[in-house]
Amino acid sequence: MAGFVRELERRAGPALRLEQRAGGVGCVVWDAALVLAKFLETGAWPLSRRAVLELGAGTGAVGIMAATLGADVTLTDLQELQELLAVNIENNRHLVTGSVRAEVLKWGEDVSEFRPPPDYILMADCIYYEEVKERGDGGSVWAQPGPLRSERCAERDPEGPRGRSGAAAVVSP
Protein backbone atom coordinates (compact mmCIF):
# COMPACT_ATOMS: atom_id res chain seq x y z
CA MET A 1 0.00 0.00 0.00
CA ALA A 2 1.64 3.22 -1.16
CA GLY A 3 1.37 6.32 0.98
CA PHE A 4 2.86 9.76 0.88
CA VAL A 5 6.49 10.67 1.58
CA ARG A 6 7.73 13.08 4.21
CA GLU A 7 11.29 14.32 3.89
CA LEU A 8 13.35 14.88 7.01
CA GLU A 9 16.25 17.20 6.26
CA ARG A 10 19.62 16.28 7.69
CA ARG A 11 22.50 18.61 8.52
CA ALA A 12 24.80 16.64 6.24
CA GLY A 13 23.75 14.80 3.14
CA PRO A 14 20.44 13.92 1.55
CA ALA A 15 17.19 14.03 3.51
CA LEU A 16 15.56 10.93 4.94
CA ARG A 17 12.53 9.91 2.89
CA LEU A 18 9.85 8.47 5.14
CA GLU A 19 6.73 6.86 3.78
CA GLN A 20 3.57 7.63 5.72
CA ARG A 21 0.18 5.98 5.33
CA ALA A 22 -3.42 6.47 6.22
CA GLY A 23 -4.18 4.35 9.25
CA GLY A 24 -3.35 4.33 12.93
CA VAL A 25 -1.22 6.74 14.93
CA GLY A 26 2.02 4.91 14.06
CA CYS A 27 1.66 5.50 10.33
CA VAL A 28 2.67 9.16 10.29
CA VAL A 29 5.72 11.18 11.38
CA TRP A 30 4.69 13.19 14.47
CA ASP A 31 6.30 16.49 15.50
CA ALA A 32 8.01 14.97 18.55
CA ALA A 33 9.83 12.51 16.25
CA LEU A 34 11.08 15.40 14.11
CA VAL A 35 12.34 17.26 17.17
CA LEU A 36 14.08 14.21 18.62
CA ALA A 37 15.67 13.32 15.27
CA LYS A 38 17.05 16.87 14.96
CA PHE A 39 18.22 16.76 18.59
CA LEU A 40 20.22 13.59 17.86
CA GLU A 41 22.03 15.45 15.09
CA THR A 42 23.38 17.97 17.62
CA GLY A 43 25.78 15.30 18.90
CA ALA A 44 24.71 15.84 22.53
CA TRP A 45 24.62 12.05 22.87
CA PRO A 46 27.37 10.17 21.00
CA LEU A 47 25.73 7.52 18.82
CA SER A 48 28.53 6.02 16.76
CA ARG A 49 28.83 2.27 17.49
CA ARG A 50 26.21 2.52 20.27
CA ALA A 51 23.35 0.06 20.68
CA VAL A 52 20.06 1.94 20.42
CA LEU A 53 16.52 0.71 21.02
CA GLU A 54 13.59 2.83 19.84
CA LEU A 55 10.26 2.16 21.53
CA GLY A 56 7.09 2.82 19.55
CA ALA A 57 9.06 3.60 16.39
CA GLY A 58 6.05 4.09 14.09
CA THR A 59 7.58 5.16 10.77
CA GLY A 60 11.11 4.75 12.15
CA ALA A 61 12.07 8.43 11.70
CA VAL A 62 14.05 8.76 14.95
CA GLY A 63 15.81 5.40 14.84
CA ILE A 64 16.71 5.69 11.17
CA MET A 65 18.20 9.13 11.88
CA ALA A 66 20.25 7.55 14.70
CA ALA A 67 21.45 4.84 12.27
CA THR A 68 22.62 7.54 9.83
CA LEU A 69 24.71 8.88 12.72
CA GLY A 70 26.46 5.53 13.21
CA ALA A 71 24.24 3.83 15.81
CA ASP A 72 23.26 0.16 15.70
CA VAL A 73 19.50 0.54 16.01
CA THR A 74 16.61 -1.80 16.75
CA LEU A 75 13.29 -0.17 15.89
CA THR A 76 10.38 -1.66 17.82
CA ASP A 77 6.65 -1.41 17.37
CA LEU A 78 3.55 -3.53 16.96
CA GLN A 79 3.22 -6.22 14.27
CA GLU A 80 0.96 -4.05 12.12
CA LEU A 81 3.73 -1.46 11.66
CA GLN A 82 6.52 -3.87 10.66
CA GLU A 83 5.87 -3.60 6.91
CA LEU A 84 5.99 0.23 7.02
CA LEU A 85 9.20 0.08 9.07
CA ALA A 86 10.73 -2.32 6.53
CA VAL A 87 9.84 0.04 3.65
CA ASN A 88 11.38 3.04 5.42
CA ILE A 89 14.52 1.12 6.39
CA GLU A 90 15.00 0.00 2.79
CA ASN A 91 14.29 3.47 1.35
CA ASN A 92 17.00 5.00 3.55
CA ARG A 93 19.53 2.15 3.78
CA HIS A 94 21.99 4.03 1.53
CA LEU A 95 22.25 6.76 4.24
CA VAL A 96 22.86 4.40 7.18
CA THR A 97 26.41 4.30 8.57
CA GLY A 98 25.54 2.05 11.52
CA SER A 99 22.88 -0.63 11.24
CA VAL A 100 19.10 -0.75 11.56
CA ARG A 101 16.51 -3.51 11.92
CA ALA A 102 12.88 -3.71 13.01
CA GLU A 103 11.40 -6.07 15.60
CA VAL A 104 7.96 -6.59 17.08
CA LEU A 105 7.61 -5.43 20.67
CA LYS A 106 4.29 -5.17 22.46
CA TRP A 107 4.72 -3.42 25.76
CA GLY A 108 4.36 -5.66 28.77
CA GLU A 109 5.63 -8.76 26.97
CA ASP A 110 9.00 -10.51 27.25
CA VAL A 111 12.02 -8.37 26.35
CA SER A 112 14.71 -10.99 26.99
CA GLU A 113 15.61 -11.16 23.27
CA PHE A 114 16.70 -7.51 23.47
CA ARG A 115 19.62 -8.30 25.80
CA PRO A 116 22.15 -7.00 26.54
CA PRO A 117 20.51 -3.70 27.46
CA PRO A 118 20.97 -0.94 24.88
CA ASP A 119 23.20 2.07 25.43
CA TYR A 120 20.26 4.36 24.65
CA ILE A 121 16.49 4.03 24.53
CA LEU A 122 14.70 6.52 22.29
CA MET A 123 11.05 7.49 22.65
CA ALA A 124 8.95 10.08 20.81
CA ASP A 125 5.20 10.31 21.41
CA CYS A 126 5.24 6.60 22.17
CA ILE A 127 2.61 6.37 24.93
CA TYR A 128 -0.66 6.90 23.10
CA TYR A 129 -2.88 3.87 23.50
CA GLU A 130 -5.36 4.08 26.38
CA GLU A 131 -4.60 0.54 27.63
CA VAL A 132 -0.97 1.53 28.26
CA LYS A 133 -1.93 4.69 30.15
CA GLU A 134 -4.50 2.76 32.19
CA ARG A 135 -1.94 0.17 33.35
CA GLY A 136 -0.41 2.88 35.51
CA ASP A 137 3.21 1.95 34.80
CA GLY A 138 3.74 4.51 32.03
CA GLY A 139 4.20 1.68 29.54
CA SER A 140 7.48 0.61 31.11
CA VAL A 141 9.10 -2.34 29.36
CA TRP A 142 12.72 -2.12 30.47
CA ALA A 143 14.06 -2.66 33.94
CA GLN A 144 17.65 -1.54 34.25
CA PRO A 145 19.48 -1.74 37.57
CA GLY A 146 21.15 1.47 38.63
CA PRO A 147 20.41 5.08 37.79
CA LEU A 148 19.12 6.14 34.39
CA ARG A 149 20.07 9.40 32.73
CA SER A 150 17.44 10.99 30.54
CA GLU A 151 17.07 14.14 28.57
CA ARG A 152 13.71 15.48 27.50
CA CYS A 153 14.25 17.44 24.36
CA ALA A 154 10.67 18.38 23.51
CA GLU A 155 7.37 18.88 25.20
CA ARG A 156 4.46 20.89 23.85
CA ASP A 157 1.67 22.60 25.68
CA PRO A 158 -1.59 20.67 25.16
CA GLU A 159 -3.26 24.05 24.62
CA GLY A 160 -0.84 24.81 21.76
CA PRO A 161 -1.68 25.25 18.10
CA ARG A 162 -2.67 21.63 17.53
CA GLY A 163 -4.24 21.05 20.93
CA ARG A 164 -2.21 17.92 21.73
CA SER A 165 0.83 17.28 23.83
CA GLY A 166 3.98 15.57 22.66
CA ALA A 167 7.23 14.51 24.22
CA ALA A 168 10.52 13.06 23.10
CA ALA A 169 13.30 11.62 25.24
CA VAL A 170 16.63 9.83 25.22
CA VAL A 171 17.31 7.47 28.13
CA SER A 172 20.69 6.01 28.99
CA PRO A 173 21.85 3.70 31.81
What element of type H or E holds 51?
strand 51-55
The amino acid occupying position 35 is: V
Is the omega angle on the peptide bond into residue 161 within 30 degrees of 0, that is, cis? Answer: no
Q: What is the pLDDT of residue 169?
A: 62
Q: Is residue 147 pLDDT above 90, yes or no?
A: no
Residues 110-124 have a mean pLDDT of 83
For position 104, what pLDDT does the model report?
94
| pLDDT above 50 for 155 | no
Mean pLDDT computed over every residue of the chain: 79
Q: What is the pLDDT of residue 163?
A: 40
pLDDT in tens, 71-93: 999 999 999 999 999 999 999 99
Mean of pLDDT values over 104-109:
83
| Residue 99 Cα distances to 20, 65, 96, 157, angstroms | 22, 11, 6, 35
- The identity of residue 58, as a single letter, is G
pLDDT in tens, 53-66: 999 999 999 999 99
pLDDT score, position 70: 97
Q: What is the pLDDT confidence band of residue 162, given thresholds at 50, 70 and 90? A: very low
* Contact status, residue 57 vs residue 76, Cβ threshold 8 Å: yes
